[in-house]
Amino acid sequence: MNAIRQDQMQDQMSVDRQDRQTSTARLHPFVWAAVIGFVIWFVLAIWGFGTEGYADWLLTVVSGFIFIAIAIPLILAGVARRNNASGTRPNKPDAFGDWAKAEFEIWQDHLKGMNAAAEIAIPIAAAAVGMTAFAIVFHYAAAHAPV
């Protein structure tokens, strides 16, 4: 009887270990890169509204703030990576496909990694695409406006 119970406990422990391995609260570096890429696209699209006068100066200031908003977390992540408590080098991240199939822990629940990546990246992607469309319409309207 004890042997069966020990086998069941070992099976449960291996299942728990597998669950821990397939669940994470850390974003894959590809998701971070995608978000940063969309932010850069957004900044470039904003510059589509540059005209003579104060607009260029204000766009420079806004671009500087966005650069700082990206640079500070990247610098802090680099410092944390170099000064980890265990003194060992961090593990190389899993392939994005493996991460996307795994569970991603959020405050309230768990999501599939792919769903979490989409929910994180889509808002800034939509803003970048929308700002690009607005800039195209702005240039078209300016070129065809009566003088």
Higher-scoring residue by pLDDT: 21, 129: 129
What pLDDT, in 10s, does the model give residues 75-99?
A: 988 888 788 766 566 667 678 888 8
**What's the pLDDT score for residue 26?**
82
Enumerate the β-bridge partners of residue 105. Answer: 110
Q: Which two tokens stand for residue 144?
A: 């065809």
**What's the pLDDT score for residue 17?**
45
Q: Which domain holds residue 55?
A: 27-143
Enumerate the β-bridge partners of residue 112. Answer: 103
Whether residue 19 is contained in a domain is answered as no
**What's the pLDDT score for residue 68?**
95
Whether residue 88 is contained in a domain is answered as yes
* pLDDT at position 112 over 60: yes
* pLDDT at position 19 over 60: no
Q: How far apart are the first and last CA of the chain?
A: 93
Whether residue 123 is contained in a domain is answered as yes
Number of domains in the chain: 1
What is the pTM (predicted TM-score) of this model?
0.73
* pLDDT at position 18 over 60: no
Whether residue 12 is contained in a domain is answered as no
Enumerate the β-bridge partners of residue 24. Answer: 104
Whether residue 113 is contained in a domain is answered as yes
**What's the pLDDT score for residue 124?**
94
**CA count, 13 A, side-chain hemisphere, 122:** 6
